[in-house]
Structure 1
Amino acid sequence: MAGVSSLPFPASVYAARLERAAALAADGGFDAIVVGPGPDLQYLVGVEGDTIERLTVLLIGPSLAPTIVVPRMELAKVRSTAVGELGLTVLDWVDGEDPYALVSSALDRVTRVGVSDALPALHVIPIGERLGVRLELATPVLREGRMIKDETEITELRRAGAAIDAVHRRVPQWLRAGRTEREVAADIAEAIVAEGHRTVEFVIVGSGPNGADPHHEVSDRVIDDGDIVVVDIGGAVPSGYNSDSTRTYVVGDPDPDVAERIAVLVSAQQAAVDAVRPGATASEVDAAAREVLTAAGLGDAFLHRTGHGIGVSVHEEPYIAPGNDLVLREGMAFSIEPGIYFAGEWGARIEDIVVVTADGCERLNVAPHELTRADG
């Protein structure tokens, strides 16, 4: 008997996802796919959590009834998800038993098996040995299901976008000379939860020269008057779908040359947003931002790709990067976040999440994009 459901969506949504995954597995020539804990398992059946030394895997395939292998000590939690609501086959085990034998018995006479990319070698190697096959990455199959968001997912991404916009609108009250990045980040983290997120996934407050490091987090650096400050923040709303948005602030009055370069960055970000439409490629969207910056002599200051997909993971397919000829389709959701970085001096980044629509895109973040003055 199923426990109390903790699912953010109706069980029918997960049933459709499992059916599509099985069809995609067949299209990819797989007899079965082994999905370990991580974003794919969360997406397919609502089971959250990371891989541990005890084996938990979902087994799916074109001729296989979805089956989950799970430690008995985790059974109640798993049955509170779509596994219980849909009545999936459950093979449970206790310490001292061999869970890999359960996988082997469920996947009898298979020749081509894929594994999710979050499944560690700790489990991949013994599964492969038991099945007697060379396991392959199932990423091309699993990413296809997650890349195209349905309306329920887009609604959650809208919710996440509005919640993080609300936080950005409050940031200027916390940024002031004399405070440390860490102090500002603590205020932001508290607000992320207060504005509707269940978790804080990351808070970047990069002031002055720290803003020139795209993956700087926080430090005890004291913010100074005139500093440019990059604030990149995100979290997961109760459904597990993520926000991710970056704005650039200045404490007091900006240097006119710096303000001019950031205005070019805002234009580059808008150019990339304008390039998003079905039929365009990921690399074309990236190029739209890069061309604006290059024309202004700032091309070498753009150190990373233009964006990444988002959903139950903060980073997932598609990646908006040079050389990626993936054709965009309606329902894809990803960030547009060009940045410029000057080592030892300052950096800036502007980031929105967009969803590809029938004739362009919907921007999910609408907090002011221009350099925003913060006076505390």
Structure 2
Amino acid sequence: MVHEQRLAAAQRAMSEAGLDALLIPPSADLRYLTGYDAHALERLTLLVLPAQGAATLVVPRLERPAAEAQAAGVAFADHADGSDPYPLVRAALGGAGGAFGGARAVGLGNRMWAEQVLALRAALPEAEQRLAGAVLAGLRLRKSPEEVAALRRAGQAIDAVHARMGEWLRAGRTEDEVAADIAVAMREAGHATVDFTIVAAGPNGASPHHGTSDRVIGRGEPVVVDIGGRMPDGYCSDSTRTYCVGEPPAEFREYYAVLHEAQRAAVAAVRPGVTAEAVDAAARDVIAAAGYGPAFLHRTGHGIGLDGHEDPYIVAGNTAPLEPGMAFSVEPGIYLAGRHGARIEDIVVCTAGGVERLNIIDTDLVVV
């Protein structure tokens, strides 16, 4: 019944927002509403959810068996290769025989392909196009206890991989080699997909989204390891720890201690009613006071769930108060260009009483 309840909640929310329908392509939104983990293809897959009445999933005919096996709470309409699928959308909105069903404003999935946006504009010229995220973000923002449990399992799985880092991280190996071992371990720990494996050694650690390379890791170098993926239920993991292969430079130990304090301060600041930007400030103020303010290059965190990055964003300017069930990263960093960098990242959830860390492996500097 979970997906039927979510579809009904989306219908209530879109009515309040003045939308007559949601049109949702393959995405985390589609999986959240129906349970269907659809492939994004050039063939149209689209959930048509009117504010009142039944939901219809428009699918390619060859994808219908998979859709029927996974999706709940919807009727199905399929289209053969070479046929125009967009009349099916009109029909699902109540336009039998080609007459339009009366929708004047529709919400499109935020990450819909441009070619589909334009095709829908031509198919539904009467309808104003808006973003569905204005409705769905509010539904997905507060995780249910079952969703928190799923994120907790994802956190445990990625913690298990970090706990093994000493098996792979050593001088003389390349970043690519270490990343390959991590990817295998992530699947062994229960991940269905490996979404990213950042292994950034020495000066590469000063680039927050470096990725990996064939650079050989040297003795005494700090290494930023940021890894994450999706579990079979679709919920994401994301955790960063910073290691050092041998004794680190004194300068690094100094600012790692600052970063450690900042990350702990931001986690401790999480509780209902505190704004997202106040959590960002809790980390940023510590780093700035130590003289490293310009070296903290990014926001403190991002929401997580069926998407790796979603609301709420923990950043200056976001005055939204935290509420129980909101799950997000707390990941301040310090990056010294041309030398090295460090980041510490936990996924946390705001609870009625404060905060729960979903990554519980130690955040102290680990020398391997």
TM-score norm. by structure 1 comes to: 0.94
Q: Which residue of 2 aligns with 1:9?
A: none
Q: Give yes or no for contact 1:53–1:122 (8 Å, CA) kept in 2.
A: no
Amino acid in the other structure paired with 1:173: E
Instruction: Please state how far the C-alpha of 1:95 moved relative to its aligned partner.
Output: 2.1
Q: Distance in 1 between matches of 2:39 and 2:60?
A: 14
1:6-46 CA distance string (max 9 Å, x none): xxxxxx11111111111111111101110011111111112
Q: Distance in 1 between matches of 2:169 and 2:82?
A: 55
1:167-209 CA distance string (max 9 Å, x none): 1011022111111111111111111111111111110000000
Could you list the runs of 5+ residues in structure 1 that have no partner in the other structure?
A: 1-11
Report how many aligned residue pairs link the two structures: 360
Q: Which residue of 1 aligns with 2:78?
A: 92
Partner SS state of residue 47, structure 1: coil
Q: Which residue of 2 aligns with 1:292?
A: 286
Instruction: Please state how far the C-alpha of 1:221 moved relative to its aligned partner.
Output: 0.6
Q: Distance in 1 between matches of 2:261 and 2:39?
A: 40
Q: Give yes or no for contact 2:26–2:40 (8 Å, CA) kept in 1.
A: yes
Q: Which residue of 1 aligns with 2:347?
A: 353
Structure 1 segments (4+ residues) deviating >6 Å: none
**Same amino acid, percent of matched pairs:** 53
**Partner residue of 2:112 out of 119, 134, 144:** 119
Partner SS state of residue 335, structure 1: strand
Q: Which residue of 1 aligns with 2:8?
A: 19
Are positions 1:305 and 2:291 aligned together? no
Q: Distance in 2 between matches of 1:253 and 1:233?
A: 23
Q: Which residue of 1 aligns with 2:171?
A: 177
Q: Distance in 2 between matches of 1:111 and 1:134?
A: 6
Q: After the TM superposition, which residues 1-376 of structure 1 pair with which residues of structure 2 at under 5 Å, given as runs?
A: 12-83=1-72, 86=73, 88-107=74-93, 108-132=101-125, 133-374=127-368
Amino acid in the other structure paired with 2:65: A
Instruction: Please state how far the C-alpha of 1:143 moved relative to its aligned partner.
Output: 0.9
Partner SS state of residue 135, structure 1: strand
57-66 or 303-312, larger mean C-alpha shift = 57-66
Instruction: Please state how far the C-alpha of 1:53 moved relative to its aligned partner.
Output: 1.4
Partner SS state of residue 164, structure 2: helix
TM-score norm. by structure 2 comes to: 0.96
Could you list the runs of 5+ residues in structure 2 that have no partner in the other structure?
A: 94-100
Q: Distance in 1 between matches of 2:311 and 2:50?
A: 22
Q: Distance in 1 between matches of 2:39 and 2:342?
A: 33
